[in-house]
Structures are given as C-alpha cells and as structure tokens.
A and B are shown apart, each in its own frame.
Chain A
Amino acid sequence: MAKSVLVFAEHLDGKLKKVSLEAVCQGRRVAEEMKTTMTAVVAGSEETLDDEIFDTLARFGADKVIAGKNPELGEVMPDALTNVLSAVIETESPGLILLGATARGRDMSARLCAKMGAPLAMDCLKIGVEGDGLVFTRPVYGGKIYENLKFKQSPGIAVMRPGSIKLVEAQKALNLEVLDVETGTIDLTFVSKQIDTSKVDLTEADTVVAGGYGTAGKANDILEALAQAWGGAVGASRAAVDEGWHPLAEQVGQTGKVVSPTLYLACGISGAIQHLAGMNSSRMVVAINKDPDAPIFSEADFGIVDDLFDIVPLITERIQTIKANG
C-alpha cells in the first residue's frame, strides 16, 4: 500500500474552511486512486475543536482524524501550526500532504516545505494520477499558463486552490485520535483580529458578481443585490479598485485574488489580460457590457451587450422570484 495522504484542515474559530473540505475531498480521491488511506489533521484549543469538526471530516471521507490540542492554539499563528503539523507528519510519515490555499495555508506550506526540503505545488487546480506518480496542475504567470509538475521526492506538499473540486460526502466511521501537542518554538505573537462575518468570502463564494470600470462606481448597490440574490460575493477589476469604488479585498486578477467560482458575472468589465488570469478557471462566465467589442465576451460562456444598469436589476428580480418559489 502506498503511503497515506495527510490533509491539514484549517478552521477559523471552530468553523472549517470550505477549501479545507475541498482538500479533504481531493485527498480522499487521491488516496482511493493510490489505494491508500487519508488522514485529516486539525489543530486548536479545547474550546475551538469540537465534535462537529471531527464528524464533518469523517463525513467527507477521512479514514482517520487527528486532533492536535493545546490551550495556546486558541488563536493560531502559522509558526505554531507549522510546528504541530510537522510533528504529525513525522509520526504519520505520509506520501502526500494537502492544504487549502488560504492565506494561512500558503504561509504554512511555504514554511513546511523549507523545513522539510520537500517539493511543493502551490495553488493546485488538479491532481492527476499518471503511472505510479502524481501530476499537479497549477497556474503560473497569474493564470495565463498552467504548469504540470511532478515531485522528485516524497513526501510532497500540494496546496489546493479554492474551487478545485466539488464537495461530495463519503461517510466514514469516525476514527479519532486526540493528541496533546506542543507548539514548539514560536516567534509570532497574536495581538488581535477583525473578521467580517457578514459577507461571503470572495475566494470561497460559489457566485461572484464583479464590477469594472464600466460601472463608473455607481453600481455597488445593484451588484451587491445580485450577489445577495445568489448568496455570493462582490468582486471588482483592478480599474474599479484603483478608482476607489471597491476595497482592495475585492480585487480579482493577477495582482489581486484568483477566484474559481461556479458562476462568474462580469459587469462592465472589459477583460484585461490581468483580470482574465484571475477568473478564467470559473466554471461558467457571464459578461454584461455595453461595448460589443470588449475582450471579455470571447472569454465568456454567455454575453449580453447592453447597459449593466438595466440588465443587472432585471436578473436580480428573476433570481429572487425563482428562489422565492423554491
């Protein structure tokens, strides 16, 4: 049997990250193909780790769940988490380590790969099995090119980009191992944090409604309304962010966030190459723009050539009606 797959599942104050569950699904799929098992690892304090987390990990297919507990892990810093994860890796000696591509996950994976001298595939879109090895597909040059990568040694680390796989449950019996873990040498001190729970996180949203220069900064309300009708998030092009119409956190593109939602609605976005790089892995793209020659139309599945101020509210109305009628 091949060496196991180890998935680090990240949570924020006891709530599992969606991308971590996606990593669990990827891990399960790879483990099945390699005829091995998948172990999910979570770390936190007594207060932040509860049965619901463990049950969820088993429900998505973890053969084993390892819970690393330490009172100091209430507010987790990437250095402490990396130490905890390395200790688990040492005892479990997996063949592949998976994380979700959150800010925390990327930070930890970079530390881990330096610590272990291990190969790393950052922001993976796909893990394929080829012969007896794995091929990792990841975007480079801001998504203008995809790179296919093979690891030359084991274990390797792959960091899964949000939206890389559909969440599918695969119930396993919960096999839980609770460990008292050491935080090891740490040099970062947590001071405080501010979390905006009122909005869906852009990189985790199933639907993204993005505004560009064509909104003239006057469409925030209608974009927000459409995003809410879908239960999604608002994004923006760099031009719209530079104009101050949207916060930096909403920027999609090569120097902003890379998103892979199920549905991406580009409103008043012309489709500069840097923007396309940030959204071209979306499953379905809809473009709404007055300019029939906007490059975004050739990158869209469906296009509407019209005024977004007319079209967007009409779509919102229709979605609301459909959702209200179940």
Chain B
Amino acid sequence: MEIIVLMKQVPATESFIEIAQDGRSIKTEDLNWVINPYDELALEEAIRIKETHGGSVTAVTIGQAMAQDAIRTAMAMGVDKGLLIDDPKALGADSLGTAKILAATLGTMEYDLILAGQRAVDDDSYVVGPAVAQYLDIPCITLVTKQTLSDGKIQCERTIDGGTEFVEAALPALLTTQRGLNEPRYTSLPGIMKAKKKKIDTQSLADLGIPSPAGAVSETIAMELPVTKRAGKILEGDTPEAKADLLVKALQDANFI
C-alpha cells in the first residue's frame, strides 16, 4: 500500500495572529509553526495503515526551508519519505493553484491512497483535498472518522450534519480527516533520531517539470480583526438567585427571550 499524505505547516492554534502592515496578510515573525492538526490525523492514519498492510508513507508539502521541521516531525512519527516543494511561485498560489501543483506532483508518483486534512487551520478553505482528487480523477471522501480497507476498496464512516454516513469507493482514493479518526502519536526519541537520518527531497516547480500556477482567481482586499464590541458587563448580586434574575431580565430587555 503506497500512501501519500498532503501536509501543511501552519501557525500553532494557540497563536495570537496579528495583521501585517499591508493590511492584507498576517505577521509571520514570532509565530510557532506546527503541522496542521488535521494533517496530523492524516499522518497517523497513514502510518497505522502501513503498519497493518505494509507499504510506505510519503509526506508531501509546499513550504520554505522551515517546512523541513514539519517533515522531520512526520518522519519521527513513522513516515518513510518526504517531499518538500520549495518555490516562491508555489507558496504564493491560492487553493486551486496549490491543488494543481500537488496533483501534478502526485501524477508522477505511485499511490493507492492519499490522505489530507479536511482543512488547514490557517486559510480554513476546505478546498485542496477535494480539488486534488478532482484533478487526479479519483474518488474523494471527506470528513472521515473511520476507514476499513479490503479488496481494493475503502469503506469510510464520515461526518454529515446531524449524523454519520457510511460510504464506499474503489482505490486509489483520497480521504480528508475529521477529529475522532485517531489520536496522533507523540514522537519518540528513537523515532526522532531515525528521522534525522532520513533524506528530505526538496524540489522547485522547474525541478518537477510543473508550470507555474495561473494567477489567483480571487483577491484578498483586506484583513480585519473580528469586531467584538462586547460590553463584558458583570451582573452583580448578593445571591445566585439575584444574579440569575438580572441575567434573565437583561436577556428579556434585549429581546432574547
């Protein structure tokens, strides 16, 4: 079973995000970068499948030199190979451009299964996974919480609004992850030592023979902080009853009851 994991390095979720001078991007200095939490689920699932069915796991990411840290972490978890696409043109691509680059790259690789996070917790766009599947013309099952492989097929349990759905597709296929799929393992010291010896393949778009992506189809004109003009009014009272009364009255006055 050849498995490819699509991975992205993102600011850690505890990060305080600030808007940059240009008003259209964020300040990237002083941020702590980690593997996108949904991609960690993809890595863990890929490694578990390899441990059961054999084969190998390759992590593919688009990023700068610091993205090597993400690949090393993935390798310390148990990923065999890493491919870093390091190219300013690739970094600047929008979701569709990113998906095109990844699909072109994967088009030259062997795979039975592709795993990706449902979304990256930076741009929150949910597009790259399904778009890669579309370009590769393979089945795509999103928001997977459980999978079973047998006879060249994959059956998945996936989240739908208000419940769960069971879906089947033929391999090769692409899955996107949902929380609940697994608990990603912590990296062990031997794992980290072993990962240090593994080679990370770094390529530019020209190296891969992939044309630069076309211009973005949308434009970020501004970024702003959510307006939270909340009063933060503490309801003071001598007893819990008095405080509850004040709250109910306040909600009634504001027509919330």
Residues of A at the B interface (CB closer than 8 Å) are 12, 17, 77-79, 102-104, 106-107, 109-111, 113-115, 117-123, 135, 138-153, 156, 187-197, 201, 203-204, 248-249, 251, 254-256, 262-263, 272-274, 280-281, 284-286, 292, 297-307, 310-311, 314-315, 318-319, 322
Tell me the minimal C-beta distance from A121 to chain B in angstroms. 7
B257 & A187 in contact (Cβ 8 Å cutoff) = no
Instruction: Name A254's closest neighbour in chain B (CB-CB).
Output: B13
A284 & B121 in contact (Cβ 8 Å cutoff) = no
A272 & B14 in contact (Cβ 8 Å cutoff) = yes
| CA A139 to CA B228, docked complex, whole Å | 14
Write out the residue numbers on chain B whose beta carbons fall within 8 Å of the beta carbon of A306.
Answer: 240, 243
Write out the residue numbers on chain A whose beta carbons fall within 8 Å of the beta carbon of B230.
Answer: 285, 298-301
B131 & A315 in contact (Cβ 8 Å cutoff) = no
Write out the residue numbers on chain B whose beta carbons fall within 8 Å of the beta carbon of A103.
Answer: 142-143, 158-161
A145 & B224 in contact (Cβ 8 Å cutoff) = yes
Instruction: Name A77's closest neighbour in chain B (CB-CB).
Output: B167
Q: Counting chain A CB atoms within 10 Å of each CB, which of B124, B140, B224, B233 scores highest?
A: B124
A314 and B244 in contact (CB under 8 A), knowing A103-B160, A113-B127, A201-B162? yes
B37 interface hit (Cβ, 8 Å): yes
Partner of A104, one of B122, B138, B160, B179: B160
A113 & B131 in contact (Cβ 8 Å cutoff) = yes
A150 and B96 in contact (CB under 8 A), knowing A145-B17, A203-B161, A307-B240? no
A120 & B223 in contact (Cβ 8 Å cutoff) = no
A144 & B224 in contact (Cβ 8 Å cutoff) = no
A255 & B168 in contact (Cβ 8 Å cutoff) = no
B216 interface hit (Cβ, 8 Å): yes
B168 & A189 in contact (Cβ 8 Å cutoff) = yes
A120 and B127 in contact (CB under 8 A), knowing A143-B226, A151-B218, A193-B163? yes
A104 and B127 in contact (CB under 8 A), knowing A118-B217, A152-B219, A191-B155? no
B91 interface hit (Cβ, 8 Å): no
B225 & A146 in contact (Cβ 8 Å cutoff) = yes
B250 & A255 in contact (Cβ 8 Å cutoff) = no
B13 & A115 in contact (Cβ 8 Å cutoff) = no
Write out the residue numbers on chain B whose beta carbons fall within 8 Å of the beta carbon of A302.
Answer: 231, 233-235, 247, 250-251
Closest 5 CB pairs of A and B: A114-B131, A314-B244, A110-B130, A195-B163, A191-B166
B217 & A273 in contact (Cβ 8 Å cutoff) = no
Write out the residue numbers on chain A whose beta carbons fall within 8 Å of the beta carbon of B131.
Answer: 110-111, 113-114
Tell me the minimal C-beta distance from B79 to chain A in angstroms. 21
A-B contact count (CB 8 A): 243
A191 & B219 in contact (Cβ 8 Å cutoff) = no
Write out the residue numbers on chain B whose beta carbons fall within 8 Å of the beta carbon of A285.
Answer: 230
B19 & A145 in contact (Cβ 8 Å cutoff) = yes
| CA A298 to CA B233, docked complex, whole Å | 9
B130 & A121 in contact (Cβ 8 Å cutoff) = no
Partner of B222, one of A106, A110, A148: A148
Write out the residue numbers on chain B whose beta carbons fall within 8 Å of the beta carbon of A284.
Answer: 251, 254, 256
B139 interface hit (Cβ, 8 Å): yes
A189 & B169 in contact (Cβ 8 Å cutoff) = yes
B126 interface hit (Cβ, 8 Å): yes
Instruction: Name A251's closest neighbour in chain B (CB-CB).
Output: B179
| CA A90 to CA B37, docked complex, whole Å | 37
| CA A152 to CA B13, docked complex, whole Å | 31
Instruction: Name A314's closest neighbour in chain B (CB-CB).
Output: B244
| CA A87 to CA B124, docked complex, whole Å | 28
Partner of A301, one of B15, B123, B218, B231: B231
Partner of B244, one of A146, A300, A311: A311
Tell me the minimal C-beta distance from A166 to chain B in angstroms. 12
B247 & A315 in contact (Cβ 8 Å cutoff) = yes
Partner of B221, one of A150, A280, A315: A150
Tell me the minimal C-beta distance from A230 to chain B in angstroms. 9
Write out the residue numbers on chain B whose beta carbons fall within 8 Å of the beta carbon of A201.
Answer: 161-162
| Contact sample, A vs B, 9 pairs, CB 8 Å cutoff | A103-B161, A140-B123, A143-B226, A152-B219, A188-B169, A189-B169, A297-B234, A301-B232, A319-B257
